[in-house]
A and B are shown apart, each in its own frame.
Chain A
């Protein structure tokens, strides 16, 4: 190594990660539990959020939603406002992911004090959002049955670094050739012991387990 070679070894996304830590501190100071929700388009993210809100409202949990969109469309946040919760939309200006700076701007627009839970709906795409820490307490990915049981084998990087995996649309299992054991085995190789909930937004199956997991986190 020449004397002009300088060894650094710094994480490329270090600046983002530092800001993510500051975001986390803001959530912690306000006593808010935050989740970063990621999924492919069509995995049922918005229905999942609405069903989660409905399931928590009965217990008086106050929820805010921060939505990442690549274009200024408000259909999703309108649905969430209709469910009676504050929603803030972040237009990423075409970016394929949310990063810690964008989240910081959204947090500053939202009054966190009365809230117990913030759900951050990331941009519909799995590859890029996974790389950027936001400062949420847990990263949650929704996979859906129609996407196929070989996803973990073909796209191994997206299952790393998550705290929770939701397998959505289980009501379609009788109609689609999806081997749950094969799917789960792949996930286990990449992220051992990952907390997983198999749910259906349509029938409500599996939601009790997911909601009790979430309630336990909120009350901490």
Chain B
């Protein structure tokens, strides 16, 4: 259900920018989803087909770019990515680590026909 509100927001943002660019049609929408932001599954695509009907974005393809969460070790400065489970620094074993990216949840760009 969560994905419906997300899909509506994507549509709103894409239409707004499409209109601003005086596009005839928005053909592609590029989303960037960080590993630590909440999960967006394929149901976004499912809702998309319904709610985009009759809008500037009808038929546009959604592209999901999932980006990993990056961590840094405070003891040895080693940078590594988060796998499915959170783990200490693989180089020195320290648990003094910080998340440096992975919270992204953005609409990055659109492609239009003018």
Interface residues of A (CB under 8 A from B): 2, 4-16, 94-97, 99, 127-128, 130-132, 152-154, 156-157, 160-161, 185-186, 188-190, 192
Q: Which residue of B2, B6, B71, B108 contacts A8 across the interface (Cβ within 8 Å)?
A: B108
A156 to B98 CA separation, bound complex (whole angstroms): 12
- Asked if B55 CB lies within 8 Å of chain A CBs, one says no
Q: List CB contacts (< 8 Å) of B83-114 with chain A.
A: 85-88, 95, 97-99, 103, 105-114
- Asked if B67 CB lies within 8 Å of chain A CBs, one says no
A97 to B38 CA separation, bound complex (whole angstroms): 12
In this complex, how many residues of chain B approach chain A with their Cβ under 8 Å: the count is: 40
Assess whether B1 is in contact with A156, with CB atoms less than 8 Å apart.
Answer: no
Taking CB atoms, residues of chain B closer than 8 Å to A186 are: 86
Since A7-B109, A11-B105, A128-B2 are in contact, a sample of 11 more A-B pairs with Cβ atoms closer than 8 Å, ordered by chain A residue number, is A2-B111, A4-B112, A6-B111, A8-B107, A95-B4, A128-B1, A130-B38, A132-B5, A153-B87, A156-B82, A189-B99
Taking CB atoms, residues of chain B closer than 8 Å to A4 are: 23, 111-114
Asked, given contacts A127-B39, A153-B86, A157-B37, whether A14 binds B109 with beta carbons under 8 Å apart, the answer is no
Is the contact region of chain B dominated by helix, strand, or loop, or is it mixed? mixed
Taking CB atoms, residues of chain B closer than 8 Å to A14 are: 9, 13
- Asked if B10 CB lies within 8 Å of chain A CBs, one says yes
A4 to B27 CA separation, bound complex (whole angstroms): 10
Is the contact region of chain A dominated by helix, strand, or loop, or is it mixed? mixed
- Asked if B17 CB lies within 8 Å of chain A CBs, one says yes
Closest chain-B Cβ to A194's Cβ sits at a distance in Å of 13
Assess whether B36 is in contact with A12, with CB atoms less than 8 Å apart.
Answer: no
5 A–B contacts, CB within 8 A, in A order: A4-B113, A8-B17, A11-B107, A14-B9, A128-B2
A192 to B87 CA separation, bound complex (whole angstroms): 15
Question: Which 10 residue pairs are nearest across A and B when measured between Cβ atoms?
Answer: A131-B38, A128-B2, A153-B86, A157-B36, A156-B86, A7-B109, A95-B1, A5-B111, A189-B97, A12-B9
Taking CB atoms, residues of chain B closer than 8 Å to A131 are: 2, 37-38, 105
Assess whether B108 is in contact with A7, with CB atoms less than 8 Å apart.
Answer: yes
Closest chain-A Cβ to B11's Cβ sits at a distance in Å of 10
Assess whether A157 is in contact with B5, with CB atoms less than 8 Å apart.
Answer: no
A154 to B16 CA separation, bound complex (whole angstroms): 38
Assess whether B99 is in contact with A9, with CB atoms less than 8 Å apart.
Answer: no
Chain A residue with Cβ nearest B74: A192
Closest chain-B Cβ to A87's Cβ sits at a distance in Å of 24
Closest chain-B Cβ to A7's Cβ sits at a distance in Å of 5
A14 to B11 CA separation, bound complex (whole angstroms): 12
A208 to B6 CA separation, bound complex (whole angstroms): 39
Pick the most buried of A11, A153, A156, A186: most chain B CB atoms within 10 A of its CB.
A156
Q: Which residue of B12, B98, B106, B112 contacts A6 across the interface (Cβ within 8 Å)?
A: B112
Closest chain-B Cβ to A60's Cβ sits at a distance in Å of 38
